[in-house]
Each structure stands twice: as C-alpha cells, then as structure tokens.
Amino acid sequence: MANSVSARKRARQSERHRQHNAALRSHVRTQIKKVLKAIEAGDQNAAKEAYASAAPAIDRSVSKGIMHANKAARHKSRLNQHIRGMQA
C-alpha cells in the first residue's frame, strides 16, 4: 500500500489511466470484431465500411501507446487481406 502522499496520488493516477487504456483497447477490439463479422457474413460492402472505421481506431491506439505499431499493421493487413479475398 502506498504510504506517502505522492505515492497515493500516483496510485490513483495509475488506476485512472489503466481504466482509460482498457476502454480504448476494448473499443479497438470491438471495431476489429465488426469487420470480422461482416467478413464471415460474406458482405463485402459492410466489411469495407467496417474496415474504414476500424483502421483509424487502430492507428489511434498506436499513437496513444495502447498497441504496438507492428501489431496494428498486422491487424490491418490481415483484415484487408480477408476483404480482398472475398472478391475471388
């Protein structure tokens, strides 16, 4: 347990930041799932629209330090690959 005033404040800030980061991470995961559901349903237009909203959310998570840049690029690449594969 934090004993000093500054340590208690730091603990409060850390908890607040943890909850905020968890909400941002959850939002990104939800966006990714929307794209995957559209792909599974076979609706290419809906998948493209969902991807168009998911890509900026993924990029924002990188800029805020929620997700590593390589992980974000991997997600975007694979989602885009699935969408392109629907045409064939």
Q: Which domains does the chain have, with CATH numbers?
A: 5-85 (1.20.58.110)
Contact 21, 66 (CB under 8 A): yes
Q: Which two tokens stand for residue 4?
A: 């000093």
Work out the pLDDT band at 87, boundaries 50, 70, 90.
Answer: confident
What does the chain look like in DSSP terms, one character per residue? ---SHHHHHHHHHHHHHHHHHHHHHHHHHHHHHHHHHHHHHT-HHHHHHHHHHHHHHHHHHHHTTSS-HHHHHHHHHHHHHHHHHTT-
Tens digit of pLDDT for each residue in 56-82?
999 999 999 999 999 999 999 999 999
Residues 81-86 have a mean pLDDT of: 94
